[in-house]
Homo-oligomer: A and B are copies of this chain.
Amino acid sequence: MDSLFAFGLGVSTLNRAGKVIDTFFPAPLHQVTGAVASQIQDRFTAGSQQVSPASVQAFIDQVQPELRPLLEADRDLTAVFLPKDSDIGSTSEAFLKLHLLSHRLRLPNTMNLDGIFGHLPNIAWTSRGAIDLTELASLQLEARVRGEYFEVHSVDKFPKMANYVVPTGVRIADTSRIRLGAYLGEGTTVMPSGAINFNAAALGPNMVEGRISQGVILGADTDLGGGASTMGTLSGGGNITISIGKQCLIGANGGTGIPLGDRCTIEAGLYITAGTRVTVVDETGETVRVVKARELAGHSDLLFIRHGSNGAIQCRTNRKAIALNEQLHDHN
């Protein structure tokens, strides 16, 4: 038997009409095989389903005892069983896939997320939990009249990750900046100006003070400086998926619209886009050639600066990039 793609048993919030608007999966499963897979196939149908706690007691006892607290629920639970990584077909399925990313079970850009926007309703995320936007105004009014108060933290299709899972070994100064579906590896610190979208990753360890756009992956020991920007496919980067390798530094208020290899540096305040004209300079300071930045995409050991006297954007080779230089010289 092939492995099953994913399974999750959790708790949903329903709106007044009984529609699921959010699902919390405490312990999602991924790439399930063997006896566990058999149990899931025997007990659940593909897709999303509401199930009573009693009906899943045996499953929980035998397969996921860590979910025993779910048996105390006084309402139905939500089970999502995805035999394959198909298009997203329901709100709970979308939440399950987002959980897989934030639980570090799956890397960004490796899952089928088609249909995610259509199946995630826009929700008011409040101190009373998820509230359907059509119900919000009357609840706010009723609370005020009673002298009560609740806080609307966010109005978005995606909730903040930390209310669903806080992976081990991370620090997050302001959780409102990290959507469920972000992948934060061990050793990731996100400062107040850092932000990580869904389907985006800091593989860790990383210092993240800038924005990691949807689809972008940051390698180990790479720092994203304060306010630094990475272009995502949803935010100006077009079809190029940006990845940044290991031991890179994007300086404060800098940014990149091209993928970078390892040990690259972009100086503070400099933004490199795919079309930026870059003067490549070798170890002796001699100009090798002038290229569009996209031609340097993915190379390692590059240092990008804008010259203080003549305003030229230069790409200087860090140590060990001799091979690259020779290659560029060949094209001269």
- Tell me the complex Cα distance, A271–B251, Å: 10
Q: Hey, what's the 0/1 contact readout for A188-231 against B, CB within 8 Å counting as 1?
A: 00011101000000000001010101000000000001110101
8 Å CB interface, A144-160 against B: 144-147, 149, 151-157, 160
User: What does the 1/0 interface line of A273-310 toward B look like (CB < 8 Å)?
Assistant: 10011110000000000100000000000000011111
Whole-angstrom distance from the CB of A29 to the nearest CB of chain B?
16
Contact across chains for A152 and B166 when beta carbons are under 8 A apart:
yes
- Is A124 an interface residue when CB atoms closer than 8 A count as contact? yes
Q: By the criterion CB–CB under 8 Å, are A255 and B255 in contact?
A: no
Q: A172 and B154: CB pair below 8 A?
A: yes
User: In the assembly, what is the distance between CA of A149 and CA of B151, in Å?
Assistant: 12
Q: How many residues of A contact B (CB 8 A)?
A: 90
Interface residues of A in 115-160 (CB under 8 A from B): 122, 124, 127-129, 133, 136-138, 140-142, 144-147, 149, 151-157, 160
B308 touches A310 (CB 8 A): no
The docked-state distance in angstroms from the alpha carbon of A16 to that of B323 is: 57
On whether the beta carbons of B277 and A138 are closer than 8 Å, the reply is: no
A137 to B152, CA, bound (A): 23
* Contact between chains at B156 and A172 (CB < 8 Å): yes
Give complex CA distance A149, B125 in Å: 11
Contacts of A276 in B (CB 8 A): 308
Taking a contact as CB atoms under 8 Å apart, the answer to whether B69 and A142 are in contact is: yes
Q: Which residues of chain B come closer than 8 Å to A313, judged between CB atoms? A: 308-309
Binds B, one of A41-49, A81-89, A262-270: A262-270
For residue A60, CB closer than 8 A to chain B, the reply is: no
Given A255-B252, A273-B268, A310-B311, verify A156-B127 contact (CB < 8 Å): no
20 contacts between A and B (CB under 8 A): A11-B144, A26-B141, A69-B145, A75-B147, A129-B149, A133-B166, A151-B151, A173-B177, A177-B192, A192-B195, A193-B193, A225-B236, A226-B235, A229-B268, A231-B252, A235-B252, A255-B269, A257-B268, A269-B270, A310-B311
